[in-house]
């Protein structure tokens, strides 16, 4: 089974395990060493107890399902942390009001930093600052999802 097929199979299994409609699958990655990483998120925060339950249920399914006949795999189920880029529209909607760094898919890899003010079906709106003091200007930048390479939430203190 190819890695892509294995990932699709795992995604189907994981989505079948998710009972809370606020929880959702973000990504599945498999390293050549059969280290499986599952990233979940939630509209209202994902408690550690939920991650533990998902991990236990999926681990049991993997052991019983025979995807790794020799049992040669490891499994990590975690929330999509701030170091992980946003991938799904649901994640963008959840993070409206937070500061983000958007890397555009242009040749220069242009970066924009600002406050995520909206997430539509087609893209996002980021409020950026230009200038300082009295010359400070706020601009609304509309960016289509097709023009985005990555978006990461920025932690501001």
Residues 86-95 have pLDDT tens digits of 999 999 999 9
- Residue 44 and residue 21: Cα distance in Å, rounded? 11
Tell me what pLDDT residue 105 has: 95
Tell me what pLDDT residue 68 has: 82
Which CATH code for domain 3-81?
3.30.300.70
Where are the CATH 3.30.300.70 domain residues in the chain?
3-81
The stretches in the chain having pLDDT less than 50 are none
- For domain 86-153, the CATH architecture is Roll (2.30)
Tell me what pLDDT residue 129 has: 87
- Residue 104 and residue 106: Cα distance in Å, rounded? 5
Tell me what pLDDT residue 104 has: 95
Joined together, the tokens standing for residue 122 give 């087609």
């Amino acid at each position: 089974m190819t890695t892509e097929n294995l990932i699709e199979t795992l995604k189907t299994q994981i989505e079948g395990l998710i009972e809370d409609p606020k929880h959702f699958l973000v990504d599945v990655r498999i390293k050549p060493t059969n280290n499986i990483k599952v990233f979940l998120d939630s509209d209202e925060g994902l408690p550690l107890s939920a991650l533990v339950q998902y991990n236990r249920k999926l681990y049991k399914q993997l052991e019983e399902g025979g995807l790794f006949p020799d049992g040669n795999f490891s499994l990590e189920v975690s929330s999509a942390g701030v170091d992980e880029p946003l991938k799904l529209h649901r994640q963008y909607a959840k993070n409206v009001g937070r500061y983000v760094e958007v890397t555009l898919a242009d040749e220069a890899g242009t970066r924009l930093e600002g406050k995520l003010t909206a997430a539509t079906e087609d893209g996002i709106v980021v409020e950026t600052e230009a200038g300082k003091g009295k010359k400070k200007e706020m601009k609304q930048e509309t960016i289509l999802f097709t023009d985005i390479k990555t978006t990461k939430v920025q932690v501001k203190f």
